[in-house]
Structure 1
Amino acid sequence: MLGQLNLDFEAMRTCKKARAEATSVVSSDRLSSLPPEIKGDILSRLNVEEAVRTSTLLSTWRDAWGNMPEISLREENFTRTKFVTLVDMVLLLHKGTIEEFDISGNKTYHDEFGRWMLMLSRRSPRSVIIKLNSGPRYRIPSYLFSIGSLESLDLQNCIISLPRVFQGFKSLTDLNLENFSSTDMDIQTLISSCPVLTDLILTSVEGICCLNIQAPKLEFLNVEGEFEDIKLDAPNLEVAIFSLDHKAKAYQSVPIAHDKGYWEA
C-alpha cells in the first residue's frame, strides 16, 4: 500500500512538472510571438543591461530593439570597457527611430563619442540628453547638428562649434546647455535657427562676450555666466532669470513683466 502511495505521488509530481514546463513553453511562445512594437515597449521598461541580455539570449527578441522608443544609458557601476560595449551594442542593434536618447557617465569617452553621435544621428531622435562630465569638454560633432527631428536638446561639458552648413533645428522647443564653451556668432546662430524655441537655459558659459538672443517664441530664459553685453529680442518672454557678472549690460527689445523676471549679479 505504501509503495502504491509513493508511486502515485511520483506520478502526480511528474504530471505537475510536465504541466509547468508546458505552460512555460506556451508562455515563452506567446511572448516571442508578440508584435515588435510591444516587445520594444516591454524592453523599454527594463534597465538597459537586462534588456540587452534578453535580446541577446532570445534571438526572437533582437528585432525588438528597432522599436524601443526610449533609451537611457547610465554608466553607474559599469567598467569603462563594458559601458562602451553596451552603448555600441544598443545603437548597433537599434534599427528604427529613437524617440528619446539619454546617456550619462563619469568616465571619459572621447575616442568613442564621434562614433556614437554618428550612429545616433541615423536614428532621428526627438530628444537627446548627453551628460558625460569627466575630462575635457566634448566637441559636439556635425552629425548632431544635422538631426532635423530634434525637439529637445540637453548637453553638458561640451564645445559648441556649428558646421558651415547648418540648417537649424526647426522643431526644437527646449535647449539646455550647461558647462559649455562657444563663440558669439555660433551661439547667436544656433538660437536664432530654432524658430519655435520656448525654453532656453545657458549656464556655466565660457568664450562668449556678447550674448545675442533672438527668439520670437521664447517664454522661459535662464542665463548664468560672464558677458560684456547681452542683447535680448524675445517679445513673448514670460520668465527671465539672469545670474551675471556685475559688468554685464542687458538690452531688452520688449520689457519683461515686472513680477516675472529678475536679475542676480
Structure 2
Amino acid sequence: MKANSLIRKTKRKKLKAGKETDCAGKSISNLPEEVLEHIVSFLPIHEAIRTSILSKKWQNLWKSTPNLSFDGRDSPKRKLFMDFVERVLVLRGPSNIETFRLSCEAKDDQSRIGTWISAAVNRNVKDLYLVLSDIESSFVFPRCLFNCKTLTEFEIDMLFILKLPSSISLPCLKILSLRQVTFIDDQSTQQLFSLPNLVELEIYECNWKNLVWVTICAPKLQQLAIYESLESTPANSGGCHVRIFRTHLAHFSCCGTLSNEFCLDESSVVETFIFLNSDGDRRPRETACRSYKLLEGISSVKTLYLTTDVVDVLDHASDLLAFPLEFRNLTSLIFESDELNLHSAGFWHIIYNSPNLRSLYFSDVTFCTLQVSSFRCEVPFL
C-alpha cells in the first residue's frame, strides 16, 4: 500500500511539473509579438532561425531580426555558408536591416555578394561591415551603396581597388573605416573623405599610390586616424599630399613613415598621436620637412604623444627650426619608445616653445645608457 501511494505521489509531481513547464512555455508565447521579436533579435541569426520550430507563432519571428551577422572565414564548407546567407536574405522578406556584417572569402561569388549588399541597402541598412578576402580586381560595389540615405556606419576591410562612383551621397554616414583598400583617384576619394556628417574617419594601411592631392574637409569630423602601410608607396614616389582642412578634431592619430605628406590647415585639435617609424629612412630631409609641417598644423594641441623619431628627424632640417613651432595650448607632452637624444635640437625646440607645458612624460625611452620604462616630470616653471 505504501509503495502504491508513493508511486501515485511521484506521478502527480511529474504531472504537475509538466503542467508548470507547459504553462511557462505558453506564458512566453503569450507575450506580444513585438516583445518576442525583440527577444529573438538578440540571438545570432542561426539560433534565431531555430526558434521557428517552437510553435506556429514563432515560425516567422526570426524574419524580422534587424541584425544579421555572417562569418564564414573559418567555415570548412564554404558553399554551404554562402547558400545559407542567400536563403536568409531571400526568406526574411522586406523588413528593415539595422546591421549587416559579412566576413568571408569572395572568390567566384563576387556578383552574389554585390546582390546581398544591394539587398541590405534596399532594406535601409544603418551599419554595414564587410571583411572580404580573395577578391578579384574587377570587383565593384553596387552603385546604390554610395547613395544610401540610411547608412550611418560603414567599415571595409578588403585588399582591393576601391572604385567609387563620380557622385557620392551618404547624408547620414558618421563613422567610416577603410582598411587595406587601394584608392583609385583624387576626386572620388576626396568626396568620400568630406561627407557632411562624418564624425569618425579611420584609414588603416591603405594604398595611396594613385593619389596626388586630396583634401579632407568634413565639418563635423572629431576623430581622424591615419595608419600608413609600409608597402603602400613606392620608394621613388613623392606620395600623396593630404590636406586636412577646416576641421575641429578632438583626436588625431598619424602613424607610419610619412611617405605621404599630411598637413592641417585652418584646423584645431585637442589630442594628437604622431608615431613615426624612420628606421632605414633613405629620405631624411623630406621626412624632416613633413614632420615639421605636420607639427606646425597642430599648434593648438593640448596633449601630444610623439615617438622619439619625430624630434630626432627634425635635426635633418635644422634650417626650419629658425621658424618657431609654437604650442601655446600644450600642457602634456608624452614621448614613447626607442632612444631619445637629449642633444636633439628638435626636442628642445618643442620644449622651449611650449610656454604652458605642465607635464613631460617618458614611456619606455632610453637616454644614452639609461633605460627608462616610465618617468613623469612636472615642469611648472615653463
Q: Does residue 131 of structure 1 match 2:128?
A: no
Aligned length: 260
Q: Does residue 239 of structure 1 match 2:241?
A: no
How high is the sequence identity, in percent, across the aligned residues?
22
Aligned to 1:190: 192
Aligned to 2:47: 50
Letter in 2 for 1:24: T
The structural deviation recorded for 1:256 is: 4.3
Q: Does residue 205 of structure 1 match 2:196?
A: no
Q: Does residue 16 of structure 1 match 2:28?
A: no
Aligned to 1:26: 23
Larger of the two Rg values belongs to structure: 2
Gaps of 5+ in 2: 234-238, 278-382
Letter in 1 for 2:219: P
Residues 55 and 143 of structure 1, relative CA distance in 2, 3 Å threshold: farther
Q: CA offsets per residue over residues 140-194 of structure 1, 9 Å max, x none?
A: 222322321111111110543233553x1111111001011232222111222x2
Q: CA offsets per residue over residues 12-54 of structure 1, 9 Å max, x none?
A: 3333333333333333333233223322232233333222222
CA distance in 2, matches of 1:9, 1:258: 77
CA distance in 2, matches of 1:216, 1:79: 46
Q: Does residue 230 of structure 1 match 2:227?
A: no
Letter in 2 for 1:11: R
The 5-angstrom pairing of residues 59-208 of structure 1 reads 59-75=56-72, 76-77=74-75, 79-92=77-90, 93=92, 95-106=94-105, 108=107, 109-136=109-136, 139-157=140-158, 158-166=160-168, 168-183=169-184, 184-192=186-194, 194-206=195-207, 207-208=209-210
SS of 1:262's partner is strand
The structural deviation recorded for 1:253 is: 1.7
Higher relative contact order (CA 8 A, sep 6+): 1
Q: Which has the higher helix share?
A: 1
Residues 122 and 16 of structure 1, relative CA distance in 2, 3 Å threshold: farther
Output the aligned Cα RMSD: 2.8
Aligned to 1:248: 260
Q: Does the CA-based 8 Å contact 2:251-2:270 persist in structure 1?
A: no
SS of 1:238's partner is strand
**TM-score between the two structures when normalised by the length of structure 1:** 0.83
SS of 1:201's partner is strand
The structural deviation recorded for 1:136 is: 4.0
Gaps of 5+ in 1: none
Q: Does the CA-based 8 Å contact 2:180-2:205 persist in structure 1?
A: yes
Q: Does the CA-based 8 Å contact 1:36-1:67 persist in structure 2?
A: no
Q: CA offsets per residue over residues 220-248 of structure 1, 9 Å max, x none?
A: 11123443211221321232222355442
The structural deviation recorded for 1:118 is: 2.0
Letter in 2 for 1:236: H
Match of 2:219 among 216, 220, 223: 216
Residues 259 and 16 of structure 1, relative CA distance in 2, 3 Å threshold: closer
